Amino acid sequence: MEWQRWADTNVPIVTQWDDGHHTGLAHGELATSSSSMPSAVFAMFRDLSVVEGARVLEIGTGTGWCAGLLSARLGDRNVVSVEVDETVAETARKALAAAGWHPEVVTGDGLLIPGCVYTYGRSPRGKQTMWLFGLTDLSWAVAFFNEDDPARSNVYQGGPRSLWDELEAAHRWWSERGRPGHEEFGLTVTADGRQEIWLREPSTLVPRAVPVR
Ligand SMILES: C[S@@+](CC[C@H](N)C(=O)[O-])C[C@H]1O[C@@H](n2cnc3c(N)ncnc32)[C@H](O)[C@@H]1O
């Protein structure tokens, strides 16, 4: 009941500190996952126009609360949520299933390039690998890194998009602007629901997709 009372209260609730390395009841250094403040979530959903028939891609599953709300509104087959932290993603999957919802919860970085998630791992031969998956088509790319000699790393890609080329173009765009941190970016949502992401000032818009050279 105490949990329910907090969940219904209009405050953000930190659910993870320091990428899960912190234990105990005291504050950690950095809040790395939280249940968002309900009024902020509902305002976001209003701006998003969550209407019948829509499919929603959520970046940052956290507790899974938003994914649960979206599932109740749209049906869980119309909701995909991406969470970068594997433990947080697994906890959310279990919590959602316990509530009767099964939206697709993908473990990956949802902000890398639009409509694409990635995962890291090691190949059977021990090489560090990175997989990229397109969320709306069957595009894919995989990089096998050679940690001793990066020039001998291999990349393969397939499908309608060239995801690795898009990744390189996005990285070049970011490097050419002095490798800005996340705190240098902003978002404007206009009254008609248009969204513009900008760098340092609202007039310097971030392109939706960086042209691949
Ligand atoms: C404020 S919480 C999300 C709240 C959540 N939507 C809810 O229903 O309560 C933000 C979450 O985004 C995750 N996150 C941060 N950067 C991310 C990224 N680039 N891709 C995917 N998830 C990310 C964090 O691990 C954290 O769990």
- Among candidate residues 120, 68, 56, 110, the one with its CA nearest the CA of residue 92: 68
- In this prediction, residue 213 has a pLDDT band, given cuts at 50, 70 and 90, of low
Whole-model pTM: value is: 0.74
78 CB near ligand 1 (under 6 Å): no
Q: Region 59-80: what's the mean pLDDT?
A: 95
User: Which contiguous run of DSSP H or E holds residue 96?
Assistant: helix 86-98
| Cα 33 to middle of ligand 1, angstroms | 6
- Among candidate residues 110, 19, 61, the one with its CA nearest the CA of residue 119: 110
35 CB near ligand 1 (under 6 Å): yes
Q: Region 193-205: what's the mean pLDDT?
A: 92
Structure-block tokens of residue 190: 């206009």
Choosing from 10, 33, 70, 167 the residue with most ligand 1 atoms within 8 A of its CB, the one to mutate for a pocket test is: 33
